[in-house]
Structure 1
């Protein structure tokens, strides 16, 4: 997947520089000083925005994953049913995350960066995805297109299911099962879980 560049604000330029650093040398070898050098600004300019690398990484991941979701939503087919669109958005996001070069680099070199969002707390991107999903479920329930139930619980369950398909699907692929077939099973499971 190509870089999600926004470059309308200086902050985005700094995040782009951080992204490039992480792609080149990994998280552990990326410093605020190197980000400043690549962005063509002073260290103090970067330090005024982020006091440390974890804060910068948090903002970078929020922007990057938000762009992945936006790309998935942009591919919606207006001629499909609400359930098909919602499931398509989730499966599309899963697929795009697995292909995202920053995500791949982090998982390959610095997987511990992902662990807090799996074991300790939700991140801003996860909360944004949940909010979108809850809103879509609530509207679809009101229209009778999705089964009744707590939309917050349903959205969280769907996100938990998607986590495994983002992070571990490759461990289940071999000569007997392809990645496309696994994604088809995710689509089927989500669809059947939503239908009235």
Structure 2
């Protein structure tokens, strides 16, 4: 009886395999958006997510792997929430949609915190390789370019190459735009003009 009462008071222990991964990623996101990646420890995440460190380490070997999982999820969710913005042509619609996506990334609290506190985390993805998020964005932009080429509103050229240039301009605006202007509206207007002119036949 005493042991049953004690178990009730402490709460039933949740099996490690029953813990939702989002619970861990949510905890890591909140910590990283507050104190940065470098100051976040695995112990912090385990404590915030209310899981054991053993459970956390079974899923993620270190903070870097956890940060990669968090950022991939956050920006995949942001990309998934972007809806096509109507324009007079497919080209204009594509440019407006990319601007909308860029504006959302630029103002995302986690990205802003990474830029402010842990910019080195972004270096491999900017200088050496594309991540899963960038590849998904490239796929979406490439599909829009192909549609625009079919209706004649987007200029000729290899769709993947055109998409890469568009994405490079978008990420530049998202990451370095705030250095040159404090006006998000101005940055969005300039990016739209740049993309619309670049894609015009």
1:120 is the counterpart of 2:116 = no
What corresponds to 2:194 in structure 1?
Answer: 189
* 1:23 equivalent among 33, 51, 67: 33
What corresponds to 1:4 in structure 2?
Answer: none
Superposed CA RMSD: 1.8
Give the Cα–Cα distance (whole angstroms) in 2 for the partners of residues 62 and 80 of structure 1: 33
Secondary structure of the corresponding residue to residue 168 of structure 1? helix
Q: How many residues align?
A: 183
Give the Cα–Cα distance (whole angstroms) in 2 for the partners of residues 79 and 91 of structure 1: 12
- The alpha-carbon deviation at position 78 of structure 1 amounts to 4.6
What corresponds to 1:93 in structure 2?
Answer: 101
Contact 2:90 2:147 in 1 (8 A): no
Alignment of 1:1-196 (within 5 A): 10-71=20-81, 73-74=82-83, 76-78=84-86, 80-173=88-181, 178-196=183-201
- The alpha-carbon deviation at position 79 of structure 1 amounts to 6.3
- The alpha-carbon deviation at position 24 of structure 1 amounts to 2.6
The 1:95/1:77 distance shift into structure 2, 3 A limit, reads closer
Secondary structure of the corresponding residue to residue 178 of structure 2? helix
Secondary structure of the corresponding residue to residue 130 of structure 2? coil
More off after superposition, 78-87 vs 133-142: 78-87
Which digits, 9 at most, give the CA deviation of each residue in 1:96-134, with x for residues without a partner? 111111111111111111111111111111111001111
Q: Which runs of 5+ in 1 are unaligned?
A: 1-8
Q: Which runs of 5+ in 2 are unaligned?
A: 1-18
When normalised by structure 2's length, the TM-score is 0.84
Give the Cα–Cα distance (whole angstroms) in 2 for the partners of residues 22 and 173 of structure 1: 26
Which digits, 9 at most, give the CA deviation of each residue in 1:134-163, with x for residues without a partner? 122112212323111100110001111112
What corresponds to 1:6 in structure 2?
Answer: none
Give the Cα–Cα distance (whole angstroms) in 2 for the partners of residues 120 and 94 of structure 1: 21
Contact 2:103 2:184 in 1 (8 A): no
When normalised by structure 1's length, the TM-score is 0.86
